Amino acid sequence: MHQNLLPSKLSPPRPPSFQLPRAQLGERINDAGDVRLIVLRAPAGFGKTTAMLQYAARRQATGAAIRWLNLDASDNDLGRFLAHFDAAIEQVAPHVGDASGEPGLLELIDRVAASRAAFTMFLDDFEVIESLAVLDLIRQLVDHLPSGWQIVIGSRVAPGLGLGRLRARGQLLEVGPGQLRFSLEETAEYLQNRRGLKLGSTELGRLHKVTDGWATAVWLASLALEGHDDPGTFLATFSGAHAAITEYLAEDVLVRLPDAQRDFLLRTSVLHELSAPLCDALLGHTGSAALLAELERANLFLTTSDNPGHYRYHSLFREFLYAQSTQADPSAIPLLHKRASQWYEDEGRPVPAIEHALRARDYDCAARLLGIHAQRLLDLGRFRLLARWLDSMPQFLPDTQCKLNIVRAWALIFTHRYADAQVLVRRIDETMQRDEVGGNKELQAHMLALRPVLLVMTDQAQGLAIGIENHARLDPRYAFPYGLLTNLVAKLYAALGRYEEARALLDQARRSHIEIGSTFSLVMAEALEGTISLRQGRLQDAIARFRLATNNMTDDVAGRATGSAPSAMLFAEALYEAGHLEQAAQVLSIYMAQARESGASGQMVRGCITQARLAWQRGEPDRAYGVLSELELIGHRQNLGRLVVSAELERSRLALIQGDAAAAAACLRRAEAPELWSPERAVPAPLHEVETLEMGRLRLRVHGAGEAEGGATREALLAELPVSIEQLHAQRCQRLALRLSLLLAEALQRAGRPDAARERMAQALTYACTEGIVQPFADEGPVIASLALSRARAVLASGKTPVGAMPGYFERLQLACAGAAGDVEADSHSAVIQQGSGGDALTQREIHVLKLLALGKSNAALAEALFLSQATIRAHLRNISGKLGTNNRTEAVARARELGLLG
């Protein structure tokens, strides 16, 4: 197991020897069949964990593998959660080949979907999970679970996993407080047979009534009854309410314990995990091992794990013990946290050391530890963790802690709290100009990078010039700020078409990132390299680089990458452009929550526009417009005009597709609103974007809707576009040149020059087929889609594909353009074939799979050709066999030939 994984998180607690088998509850869960998700939801103390342990034993008895993950608040860090989840499933869903080969979220989901093992994953204390990114990952995992897999969740509250959808599909079993409560019979069985208490039916009935079957109250009553000679008198005053339980714990259980045990329980309640060495350090003496053993034998409050010598308190009891300890001696709590912090520091575990120092309000200690470890956390991109820690410290640390204020500024920038960052950077500037720390070269290096990065991320134009000037002054020895600023300047050079200079800078940046092990910055550099390829029209190279940045970059959280939302949004955009819509949708479904959580403008634009276009392709215009409205709203809330402009530009494009030029012009006018284009925000459009105001204006002119504003005739446009296209070719901006070529083809067609339009389309496709560029031909509307469809059919009919064309390109282009062109014959042939009585329709994708199957391609070759996972290919093959009534791929191909689907 990797050194940064905590074994205690992967170990199920040991059930108490006196637990009551919940036979009726167990049967209810067993009878649920192959549901994907089981949720046990109830307040603390209702026996969720015990019920989960008993179900785990049942599953193991049937030969299924089980794994357990004890969750805590730190699992809201996606990297940490992913690392432990990945370790938990390794034996049943192993990595293929080298474990470092592709350890991202996509790879994890693909491994899960491909598993054939019977397996149940238990996630306990799920109520601590609030991160949208973690919740989205679990939702995706549930959606991709193969037959025989289940996830079981124990939570105090309903988990935010979209349970309504699973409930409607019959894939969810919910167990609530009503099912978890002890029945009267179970209460009697537990007290009389498990605990050995001599109680009559009247006493049992009263106890069951006052506890209402709450497992914790029944158990605590059994502890009390062991020390009472007159059960009736005790039960006459006992209440099962939470307040009464607290009073009972304080006045009965704790006071009856030996002083050493009581003191141990109260003082160690500051810990979330217990071990003898840690407790010895906390208490200042030895003997903790013996006390832990005594408490374990007495079944008092401890939950043991499979990791020998490690324990934790049941959360309900730890909360009670901590409250009692705080009330009894509040001055002792900070000292206990300080001792815990020191022990963790000595053990080389800085994260819990810092956590305990902050809980002790020992800000000097926390600052000292952060001074040692913050740079490494910056290198790893742990900005959210740093921001949380530093938020709990004084708002502006003393001048002597200027480095930590700089760390906080970086954390604020990369958690997109720009206003707070601007205030902090100004204060740091004032401090450095006023005091002697201004001569510190490391601090100077950070400030040289901080200022322009913050300006550019808030769309302020002066950041570009400042970035270039500062980069020339920044010492490369300070690798973190140098690498980030180098990425920024390289991005600017690429946007200006200075590609070789940009790539030379990226090579420098990579060396800096590798030198310090900065996964975060290395991902940024690789994604930027892919962005340059995308602008130059080298789509396949861009896809490869985005895939690498999204999936393959590792950090040392556990040797596993969490993936990168910025690169993932670019990855989805490029996949969409290549016509791999399912894969693009999958990437977005996994990473979009991270993008929304971060609030970064570039991520939001790319993700939302691609998401809207996918919805449009699925025939869900309401969903498409809903996504655009969300993007616009975020732009207004965050004062990021770029988001508002992007939403309006996409609305304008959609209006033109629907033939509503007036609506398209209105959207464009809103995008041109002066308040969205103030001089200080006149930043050049990011180099990956083709949807600009100028593109919107050109589309309107092609449709004859721009003359009133610009006075330009279509003939003038036909003269202008070829010149612009040649200029773009000279500048190696092939992506934008292709878009203008499509507009020129449409303008020629609308001007009554179809031969010239077809010639222009043939030229565009001669280039596009070598890079697998598909979707832009379908997205420009029916005129372009019809021209592309006609050319694709002509090529396929001739049997002569252009030199360098990617295999299957023209078949995929035909499928993509058929619907957009309004081609009824193509739609009916490639989209729907009814088979048998009441049979389901074959989709376009399934027919494409059949055609490739007929060529003898393996599952791996199909996955590569269609840019899908092998698990998705297997799902397609199952669907095809079911719809055609066949048993294997050979029969499916034969049946497809009979139906004329392969001709």
* Residue 409 belongs to some domain of the structure: no
Are 52 and 170 contained in the same domain?
A: yes
Are 477 and 610 contained in the same domain?
A: no
pLDDT in tens, 47-66: 899 899 999 998 888 888 99
pLDDT at 3 over 70: no
Are 144 and 33 contained in the same domain?
A: yes
Cα dihedral across residues 866, 869, 874, 878: positive or negative: negative
**CA Rg value for the chain:** 32
* Residue 484 belongs to some domain of the structure: yes
* Residue 878 belongs to some domain of the structure: yes
CA atoms of 203 and 214, how far apart (whole Å): 16
Cβ neighbours of residue 614 closer than 8 Å, sequence gap 6 or more: 576, 581, 584, 585, 588
Segment (H or E) for 303: strand 302-304
User: What pLDDT sits at residue 398?
Assistant: 64
pLDDT in tens, 524-572: 888 899 999 999 999 999 999 999 888 755 444 433 444 478 889 999 9
Are 303 and 222 contained in the same domain?
A: no
CATH number for position 303? 1.10.10
CATH number for position 77? 3.40.50.300
User: What pLDDT sits at residue 869?
Assistant: 65
Phi, psi of 121 (to 5 degrees): -105, 125
Name which residue leads in pLDDT, 883 or 767.
767
Q: Which domain-ending residue is among 297, 326, 361? A: 361
Are 328 and 272 contained in the same domain?
A: yes
Q: Which class for 200: exposed (0-12), middle (13-18), buried (19 or more C-beta within 10 A)?
A: exposed
* Residue 424 belongs to some domain of the structure: no
pLDDT in tens, 467-487: 999 999 999 888 889 888 998
User: What pLDDT sits at residue 827?
Assistant: 40
CA 513 to chain centre: 24
CA atoms of 455 and 452, how far apart (whole Å): 5
| pLDDT, average across residues 584-603 | 81
Q: Are strands 302-304 and 274-275 parallel, antiparallel or unpaired?
A: unpaired
Name which residue leads in pLDDT, 514 or 658.
658
pLDDT in tens, 156-189: 888 888 888 788 878 899 998 888 888 898 888 8
pLDDT in tens, 444-461: 999 999 999 998 888 777
Q: Which domain-ending residue is among 337, 361, 385? A: 361
Are 621 and 493 contained in the same domain?
A: no
SS3 sequence, 156-167?
Answer: CCCCCCCHHHHH
User: What pLDDT sits at residue 240?
Assistant: 59
Are 55 and 172 contained in the same domain?
A: yes
pLDDT in tens, 116-157: 888 999 999 999 998 888 898 898 888 888 888 999 999 988
Going by the DSSP 8-state scheme, the letter that residue 704 receives in this structure is T
pLDDT at 682 over 60: no
Are 233 and 292 contained in the same domain?
A: no
Cβ neighbours of residue 504 closer than 8 Å, sequence gap 6 or more: none
| pLDDT, average across residues 669-687 | 63
Among residues 497, 493, 774, the alpha carbon closest in space to that of 507 is found at 493
| pLDDT, average across residues 364-368 | 92
pLDDT cut 70: percent of the chain above it:
86
CA atoms of 29 and 173, how far apart (whole Å): 8
Q: What is the DSSP string of 513-524?
A: HHHHT-HHHHHH
| Contact yes or no for 656/781 (Cβ under 8 A) | yes
pLDDT in tens, 774-796: 999 999 999 999 999 999 999 99
Q: Quickly count: other Cβ atoms within 10 Å of residue 392's Cβ.
A: 13
Q: What is the DSSP string of 386-428?
A: HHHHHHTS-SS--GGGHHHHHHHHHHHHHTT-HHHHHHHHHHH
* Residue 466 belongs to some domain of the structure: yes
User: What pLDDT sits at residue 34?
Assistant: 77
Among residues 686, 10, 753, 757, the alpha carbon closest in space to that of 310 is found at 10
How many CA atoms lie less than 13 Å away from 518 in the CB half-sphere? 27
Going by the DSSP 8-state scheme, the letter that residue 855 receives in this structure is T
Are 686 and 628 contained in the same domain?
A: yes
Q: Which domain covers residue 839, as residue numbers?
A: 832-898
CA atoms of 546 and 568, how far apart (whole Å): 7
pLDDT in tens, 836-860: 333 466 776 788 788 888 877 787 7
Q: Where are the beta strands (DSSP E) in 87-128?
A: 119-124
Q: Which class for 758: exposed (0-12), middle (13-18), buried (19 or more C-beta within 10 A)?
A: middle
pLDDT in tens, 633-647: 988 887 788 889 999
* Residue 578 belongs to some domain of the structure: no
Cβ neighbours of residue 16 closer than 8 Å, sequence gap 6 or more: 299
* Residue 803 belongs to some domain of the structure: yes
User: What pLDDT sits at residue 227?
Assistant: 66
User: What pLDDT sits at residue 593?
Assistant: 81
User: What pLDDT sits at residue 557?
Assistant: 41
Q: pTM for this one?
A: 0.74
CATH number for position 519? 1.25.40
User: What pLDDT sits at residue 624?
Assistant: 94
CA atoms of 794 and 775, how far apart (whole Å): 19
User: What pLDDT sits at residue 679?
Assistant: 47
Q: Which domain-ending residue is among 345, 361, 377? A: 361
| Contact yes or no for 55/179 (Cβ under 8 A) | no
Q: How confident is the model at residue 867 (pLDDT cuts 50, 70, 90)?
A: low
Average pLDDT, the chain: 83
Q: How confident is the model at residue 868 (pLDDT cuts 50, 70, 90)?
A: low
Q: How far is CA 12 from CA 52, 112, 306, in A?
A: 10, 21, 7
pLDDT in tens, 741-764: 999 999 999 999 999 999 999 999
| Least trusted range by pLDDT, from 192-196, 257-261, 346-350 | 192-196
Percentage helix, strand, coil for the chain under 3-state DSSP, each rounded to 5: 70, 5, 30
User: What pLDDT sits at residue 683?
Assistant: 47
SS3 sequence, 186-204?
Answer: HHHHHHHHHCCCCCCHHHH
| Contact yes or no for 494/506 (Cβ under 8 A) | no
* Residue 729 belongs to some domain of the structure: yes
| pLDDT, average across residues 858-871 | 70
| pLDDT, average across residues 882-888 | 84
Are 87 and 202 contained in the same domain?
A: no
| Contact yes or no for 148/142 (Cβ under 8 A) | no
Q: How far is CA 390 from CA 341, 345, 422, 454, in A?
A: 17, 18, 16, 19
CA atoms of 418 and 458, how far apart (whole Å): 7
Q: Which class for 559: exposed (0-12), middle (13-18), buried (19 or more C-beta within 10 A)?
A: middle
User: What pLDDT sits at residue 552?
Assistant: 59
Are 622 and 725 contained in the same domain?
A: no
CA atoms of 769 and 773, how far apart (whole Å): 6
- Name the one residue in this structure whose structure tokens are 């600023």: 485
| Contact yes or no for 468/451 (Cβ under 8 A) | no
User: What pLDDT sits at residue 562?
Assistant: 46
| Contact yes or no for 648/629 (Cβ under 8 A) | no
Q: What is the DSSP string of 629-651?
A: HHHHHHHHHHT-HHHHHHHHHHH
pLDDT in tens, 521-530: 778 888 899 9
The listed range with the strongest mean pLDDT (529-543, 578-592, 598-612) is 529-543
Are 492 and 621 contained in the same domain?
A: no
Q: Quickly count: other Cβ atoms within 10 Å of residue 560's Cβ.
A: 28
| pLDDT, average across residues 243-270 | 79
Q: How confident is the model at residue 214 (pLDDT cuts 50, 70, 90)?
A: confident
| Contact yes or no for 757/765 (Cβ under 8 A) | no
Structural domains in the chain (count): 7
What's the CA angle centered on 371, arms 365 and 374, to 5 degrees? 115
